[in-house]
Amino acid sequence: MRYIVLFLFFSIYSFASLTMSKYYLSDENNQLTINEIIKKQNSQYKILTNKNSSFKVTDATIWIKVEIDKKSTFTKEYVLEMQSFYRGHIELFDKNGKFIYKYGSSLPFSNMSYQYPQIAIPLSLDEGINILYLKISSSIKMNLHTKLWEEKAFQKKILDHTVFLAIYFSGMFLLIFYNFIFFLFSKERMFLIYVFFTSSILITMLFKTGMGFAYIWSDFPEVNQLTGREFYYLFLILGVVFCKEYLHTKIKTPKLNMMLVITIYLGIVFFGLHLMLSYEDSFIFLIILNFLSFFMMFITAVYHALFIKNTQAYYILIGWSFLISGVLVALMRFLGILEVNFLTVNTPEIGTFLEITLFSMALASSYRKKQVDLENSKYQLAQINKNLEKIIEEKNKDLIEKNKNLEHEVNLNSFLLKELSHRVKNNLQVILSFLSLQSKYCKKEEVKALLDESRRRVNAISTLHELLIDTQEFNSVDIDKYLKKLIDYNKLIFNDLNIDLKTDIVSAKFPIEGATHLGLIVNELFNNSCKHAFKDIENPKIEISLKAIDKQYTLTVKDNGVGLSENSKENLGSKIIKALISQLNGVYTLKSDDGFEYTIIFRIDDKGINNEYLDSRR
């Protein structure tokens, strides 16, 4: 069963000689006809007075009998206005039971007697007692104010009210449009939240004032079956969201932010319950959400204004104060504490307009502050950049000066290295000359042979220094150029043997130490082959190859000579070779089955000889 609470406040317009009496009767079973109502005596009705003006009924029809005693007045035309009548029907009958007109929210707006969203019943009153019967039915709770107007005064009231609402809704629409355009240009999310928030207020007020029925869905009265509460829920939820985002509660006040988030989720749950429950049953959830959302937003704004010292919070605080004031005035009017007049009737509109205006100003102020902070940040960044540029410029000057000094030192070191290499080379050349002279004047062949070997070993080192001077590199050498130059020199010494020489040497950079050891090894092996391998060999051949696989090198020196006999003893050259292989941290293999083949494996990387290389053959 639905309960309808009608608060009937019949304002007695005391036109000099006009009095009105009111009676009501509840038809619990909805079975009484107008003729039966007319036959009932006044004693069967209940008298309505200002002190006894409310009653509760079930899904009953309410019959109201109005007696207007009109004496001598010049005015004949009057209007009986039913204010705040949103959902329901009113049927009007004269004293004889004749049906005059039907008014209701389910009828098109064109059925209204006046182009006015509230119910206004035109009356033509004669002198004497005028009796009217009103049959009222509604499916929701209702606050019904009834007022009797002279027609001219009512026409002026309609004009004033229409102008006021036109200004109110135009202002709201302009604020929504302005902030939406601002959102499109600024991409600030807060402006979009404001647009949705204000739009929910706008639609709620279209229902509340009846302006939506009058000018938007006038030909679709079924839309009036919506109560407007759905959008009021959205208004409360979006209001909390706006307060939360605008005051940045997530960062500044996490605990208050959590309470606001809980309020938002409760609002969503209550909204879902409202859609499932009846109008009356869901009313309690709207009251809870209304109190909770206003309380949380007000407390949050107060805390941010007083304790966080956020001046932007004053906009929120004052804005909600305007809205709450408007709601309180409307409530006091509803309870009969305040009289029904232009101000008390329109306080919700005035309060909401002042609220959204302040919120719009708050957004503009916040955006301006953000822009000022951004400009200040840019200025500070520019100053920092200037300071950094000065520091960098000073550092660059220091670096340039240090580079000049370092370049001078490098050039000096390069000159000294070059000079040292020249001197080493010259000294080696002197030693070579001494050895050559000594060899010429030596009469013993055995000593002469030893001197020639020493000369070739010194030449191997001298050739390396010669390459260093030519390439201007003093920490590495092209191993292929070095070995080929060394082999060509030795081949020229044994030119009378007509040796068929083949070389296959990889192109690589070797550190000086590794190149020296390898050059001496090649020098010894080549000379040993030329001296001992080709007795009675018609076509002597020597093959020298150096190959690389991932910094691991393999040196192979091979000839087609007589090889080593079983009784051959280890000479000085062999000892030198083994000592040099040890310096390279390498391993070697020797084959003498068919000619002579000497293979050495070692590693050299960018840091030099790899001392960690191990081989199972070692």
Q: What is the pTM of this model?
A: 0.58
Q: What is the DSSP string of 99-125?
A: EEEEEETTS-GGGSSSS-SSEEEEEEP
Q: Is 155 exposed, middle or buried (0-12, 13-18, 19+ CB in 10 A)?
A: middle
Contact 202, 176 (CB under 8 A): yes
Instruction: Give per-10-residue mean pLDDT for the chain (618 aa).
Output: 35 52 79 86 73 48 84 76 68 87 74 74 84 80 68 86 90 93 89 92 85 79 70 90 91 93 93 81 83 90 90 86 83 71 82 89 86 86 87 85 77 62 60 60 62 67 69 74 83 81 87 82 83 80 87 88 70 80 86 84 74 47
Burial 106-139 (b: 16+ CB within 10 A, else e): eeebeebebebbbbbbebebeeeebebbbbbbbb
Token reading at 212: 């939506």
d(CA 160, CA 127): 30
Token reading at 593: 């089955």
Q: Check residue 1 and give its pLDDT.
A: 34
Instruction: Compute the Cα dihedral for 447, 450, 456, 462 and give only its sign.
Output: negative
User: Residues 150-174: pLDDT tens digits?
Assistant: 888 888 888 888 889 899 999 999 9
Q: Check residue 253 and give its pLDDT.
A: 92
Q: Check residue 290 and give its pLDDT.
A: 86
Q: Check residue 216 and give its pLDDT.
A: 82
Closest CA to 511 of 482, 549, 554: 482
d(CA 418, CA 467): 11
Q: Is 450 exposed, middle or buried (0-12, 13-18, 19+ CB in 10 A)?
A: middle
Spacing of C-alpha 517 from chain mean position: 65
Closest CA to 540 of 551, 530, 555: 530
Q: Is 499 exposed, middle or buried (0-12, 13-18, 19+ CB in 10 A)?
A: buried
Q: Check residue 50 and give its pLDDT.
A: 46
Kindly report the CA angle at 478 between 476 and 479, in degrees rounded to 5? Answer: 105
Q: Check residue 172 and give its pLDDT.
A: 93
Query: 480-609: which CATH topology?
Result: Heat Shock Protein 90 (3.30.565)
4-157 against 480-609: fold identical? no
Q: Check residue 159 and give its pLDDT.
A: 87
Token reading at 259: 């309470």
Instruction: Compute the Cα dihedral for 120, 122, 126, 127 and give only its sign.
Output: positive
Q: Check residue 342 and give its pLDDT.
A: 77
d(CA 424, CA 433): 14
CATH class of the region 4-157 = mainly beta
* Domain locations along the chain: 4-157, 159-374, 480-609
Q: Check residue 168 and give its pLDDT.
A: 92
Q: Check residue 86 and give its pLDDT.
A: 55
d(CA 223, CA 445): 130
d(CA 567, CA 551): 37
Q: Residue 315 corresponds to which amino acid?
A: Y
- State the first-to-last Cα distance of the chain, in angstroms, to the nearest integer: 106
Q: Would you call 441 helix, strand, or coil by DSSP?
A: coil
- 131 — phi, psi (to 5°)? -115, 135
Q: Check residue 347 and give its pLDDT.
A: 86
